[in-house]
């Protein structure tokens, strides 16, 4: 069962100046929904993901997952980062089974789960290879298998495809939503990529910076899998780009000194 996430007016400051990194984030994500956060660098996307994961306690407001306030990380939600963070001395299946080992799962049961996931992710033939011999895309698939093996209710992705080649990135953009829909996992992703947002999300939340806040959203009502050349895909892409551009213009106006703002008016 996917997790339901409620962000109740989240604000956060990192230093004594009390300049907010995040301000009044009010958002609900339904079970099984795929929600993408998009915005320029410095708008607080990753910070918000850390707050949802329980890795960071907000200065104000609270996060509730399935009605319970988040105060620390939990085994029922997993977070993937840009780096795969695998153990280089272990094999593919050993890395993928790591979460299950920590959870105390019987080895036979863990082996069966991991074998099924590696098959799903196209890594069955690599199961006994050392992860150092894999490509970057294959390593990210191993990290994904590790995250899925514990059967989480929530998966959080912090730009995990950004360093991959275009072909591998495109494949994972299609595979990950399909897997999450199949397993009924709520998915929250962070990206700078307009195409990735439209390809993966049920709903895109656009964030502005200074301070970081959600300023608009776009519902992506397209069938799966998404096809980039479809007319409706291109329409939504253009709409999201326009919304993103308008947000960027607003950020630039806020960043200008008062004298320049008056002159521009």
* Maximum alpha-carbon separation in the chain: 71
**What are the domain boundaries of the chain?**
1-76+155-175+185-265, 79-151
Pairing outcome for strands 5-13 and 60-65: antiparallel
Nearest to 179 by CA among 203, 152, 217: 152
- Residue 151 above 50 pLDDT? yes
Alpha-carbon gap, residue 154 to 53, rounded angstroms: 9
CATH ID of 1-76+155-175+185-265, from 3.40.250.10, 3.40.109.10, 3.20.20.70, 3.40.50.300 = 3.40.50.300
pTM for this predicted structure:
0.84
Lowest-pLDDT choice from 38-52, 80-94, 226-240: 80-94
Summarised one tens digit per residue, pLDDT across range 57-109 is 999 999 999 999 999 988 888 888 777 788 889 999 999 988 888 878 888 88
Q: What phi-psi label fits residue 42: left (phi over 0), alpha (psi between -120 and 50 degrees) or beta?
A: left
């Amino acid at each position: 069962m996917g997790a339901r996430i409620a962000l109740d007016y989240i604000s956060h400051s990192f230093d004594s100046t009390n300049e907010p990194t995040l301000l009044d984030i009010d958002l609900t994500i339904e079970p099984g929904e795929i929600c993408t956060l998009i915005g320029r660098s410095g708008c607080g996307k990753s910070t918000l993901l850390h707050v949802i994961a329980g890795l960071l306690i907000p200065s104000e407001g609270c996060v509730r997952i399935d009605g319970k306030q988040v105060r620390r990380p939990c085994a029922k939600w997993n977070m993937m980062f840009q780096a795969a963070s695998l153990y280089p001395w272990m094999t593919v299946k050993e890395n993928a089974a790591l979460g299950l080992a920590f959870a105390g799962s019987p080895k036979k049961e863990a082996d069966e789960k991991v074998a099924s996931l590696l098959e799903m992710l196209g890594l069955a033939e690599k199961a006994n290879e050392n992860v150092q011999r894999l490509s970057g895309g294959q390593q990210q698939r191993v990290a994904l298998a590790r995250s899925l093996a514990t059967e989480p209710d929530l998966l959080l992705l912090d730009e995990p495809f950004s360093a991959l080649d275009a072909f591998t990135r495109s494949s994972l953009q299609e595979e990950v939503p399909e897997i999450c829909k199949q397993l009924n996992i709520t998915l929250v992703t962070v990206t700078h990529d307009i195409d990735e947002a439209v390809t993966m999300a049920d709903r895109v939340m656009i964030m502005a910076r200074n301070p970081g806040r959600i300023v608009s959203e776009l519902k992506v009502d397209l069938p799966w899998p998404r096809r980039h050349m479809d007319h409706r895909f291109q329409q939504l892409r253009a709409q999201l780009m326009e919304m993103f551009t308008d947000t960027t213009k607003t950020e630039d106006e806020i960043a200008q000194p008062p004298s320049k703002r008056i002159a521009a008016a």
